[in-house]
Amino acid sequence: MAFPNVSDIVATTIENRSAEIADNVTLNNALLAYIKDKGNVRPISGGSVIYEEISFAANGNAGWYSGYDLLPTAAQDVLSAAQFNITQAACPVTISGLEQLKNMGKQQIIDMMEARLKVAESSMYNLLAAGVYSDGTGAGGKQIVGLDAMLPVSPLTGTYGGIDRNIWPVWRSQTTTAGAALTATTVQAAMDTFWAGLVRGRDRPDLIVMDTQFWSIYMQSLQVLQRFAGTEKAKLGFPTVQFMDCDVVLDGGLGGFATAKTAYFINTKYTYWRPHSSRNMVPLNPNRRYAVNQDAEVSILAWAGNLTSGGPQFSGRLITP
């Protein structure tokens, strides 16, 4: 007879590997890998939305004084919070009664479910990696609010994190589209100018993510300058070179999701991955799930959370036509 506790095996397999799966999600995407390396993976434990505190104004009490001058002590409204919805993703792993009969014995079923779980993991990795670059409108607005929302082509309009960019300039990212297609001889100057516009004191981009086309142009410019570096962060598993003191990473390639002809200049200090602590690549329900009108059982690999920012004004996107 078939092994009777198939659902338990499926759920237990996912549960035992949940931490590994969650870790591999971040390591499968360049931006998420750097966010993790920065210590900005911050799980949430509840609530209807994800709050990201922001400082939107300076304290007006700051000023010069002399001797017995009176110092201003008026209350200052300088903090607020952006709000991000909790998005959800899932990948069901199924096994039919016939497959149970064909794979009699516990070990055979474990081997089959391991193979199916690997496919489910890869599917979730790709789903979330694509979401990292999205504007949040995919799947009827259920997708992650990714870089195309955080760093839009038109940063003067629309809302992000519940804050209207048209009203609050401090919430606007930077976007520049080169007047002509960038080449190996022009890309360095364009990147110099764009990078400088994102620097405020010690705040500056520490990661530039490029699609394949932009990466190719930049690499051609480096071959002339012979300026290769980036071995320290290459351990994260992504092709990495340097610009200023900033890591430049290819996140395009075969099946990549980075937006074409785009370089994202990101300050990861203000960028966060916010998975839910109780729904970070875990089985949705450890109990058995049976199809009502089918001879089949299902276990669901699930994730919830979002990609957030506390300062999109420190990041931007450079586009080559």
**Tens digits of per-residue pLDDT, 244-291?**
888 998 887 676 788 999 999 999 999 999 999 998 988 776 655 667
For residue 26, being part of any structural domain is answered with yes
CATH, residue 135: 3.90.1690
For residue 308, being part of any structural domain is answered with yes
Q: What's the pLDDT score for residue 92? A: 86
For residue 77, being part of any structural domain is answered with no
- Strand 174-177, strand 316-319: pairing: parallel
For residue 41, being part of any structural domain is answered with yes
The burial class, CB within 10 Å (0-12 / 13-18 / 19+), for 145 is: buried
Give residue 313's domain range.
6-55+82-319
Q: What's the pLDDT score for residue 41? A: 92
Q: Which residues contact 181 (CB under 8 A, 6 or more apart)?
A: 320, 321
For residue 1, being part of any structural domain is answered with no
Q: Which residues contact 264 (CB under 8 A, 6 or more apart)?
A: 31, 147, 151, 207, 208, 209, 210, 258, 315, 316, 317
When pLDDT is cut at 50, 70 and 90, the band that residue 154 belongs to is: very high
When pLDDT is cut at 50, 70 and 90, the band that residue 79 belongs to is: very low
**Tens digits of per-residue pLDDT, 180-208?**
999 999 999 999 999 999 998 888 999 99
For residue 40, being part of any structural domain is answered with yes
Q: What's the pLDDT score for residue 4? A: 42
Averaged confidence pLDDT in the chain: 82
The span from the CA of 128 to the CA of 41, in Å, is: 15
Q: Are 76 and 41 in contact (CB under 8 A)?
A: no
The whole-number average pLDDT for the span 109-134 is 81
The span from the CA of 51 to the CA of 13, in Å, is: 33
Number of structural domains found in the chain: 1
The span from the CA of 43 to the CA of 245, in Å, is: 29
